[in-house]
Amino acid sequence: MQHISHYRSPLGELLLAADETGLTGAWFAGQKYFARGLDPAAEEGEAPALAAARAWLDRYFAGEAPPVDIPLHLIGTPFQREVWELLLAIPYGQTTTYGGLAVELARRRGAAHLSAQAVGGAVGRNPVSVIVPCHRVVGASGSLTGYAGGLDRKIALLTLEGADTARLSRPTRGTAL
């Protein structure tokens, strides 16, 4: 059984979801893939992972770099879960590219090559915004490309973390990953 809770962040309300295993979702209201995977029978309630997520978000939005010590239950394909694990390894205040993630995942799998676009698709379907830091992934040459929560939020999150956003460029139509 999933339980849900709402969190008011400086960047808008987040819907949090958790089951008995851990946090299953954190979505900004109106974001792409909002509440994807949420059990229709989910009820407003309490779960240990929800309390942990709210405490983590309080610290994060206060400007701290809290470790992700929240129990997570990331539900997705094996490929998506591998990509989401890579996201958790991106240090606070730093960025990487979709291509860089593809190279690292290929190395871990012993493969010659993996598609940056495939990695981008998995990053975009990350069900736990902010905590699993998909906002730290940028396009080739530092271009700011998609963020399910919106580019303004992506910039705000990176700015909060002290990332060098001056070197990042806004996307133009057709910007590649």
54 and 110 fall within a common domain: no
43 and 103 fall within a common domain: no
- From CA 15, how far away is CA 26, in angstroms rounded? 5
21 and 56 fall within a common domain: yes
- From CA 177, how far away is CA 164, in angstroms rounded? 19
User: What phi-psi label fits residue 92: left (phi over 0), alpha (psi between -120 and 50 degrees) or beta?
Assistant: beta
Q: Which of 4, 14, 15, 134 is catalytic?
A: 134
At 52, which CATH number? 3.30.160
Verify whether residue 105 is a known catalytic residue.
no
137 and 108 fall within a common domain: yes
Specify the pLDDT at position 165: 75
Tens of pLDDT along the chain (177 residues) come to 899 999 999 999 999 999 999 999 999 998 988 888 888 888 899 899 999 999 999 999 999 999 999 999 999 999 999 999 999 999 999 999 999 999 999 999 999 999 999 999 999 999 999 999 999 999 887 878 878 888 999 999 999 999 987 776 655 444 444
At 112, which CATH number? 1.10.10.10
pTM listed for this prediction: 0.90
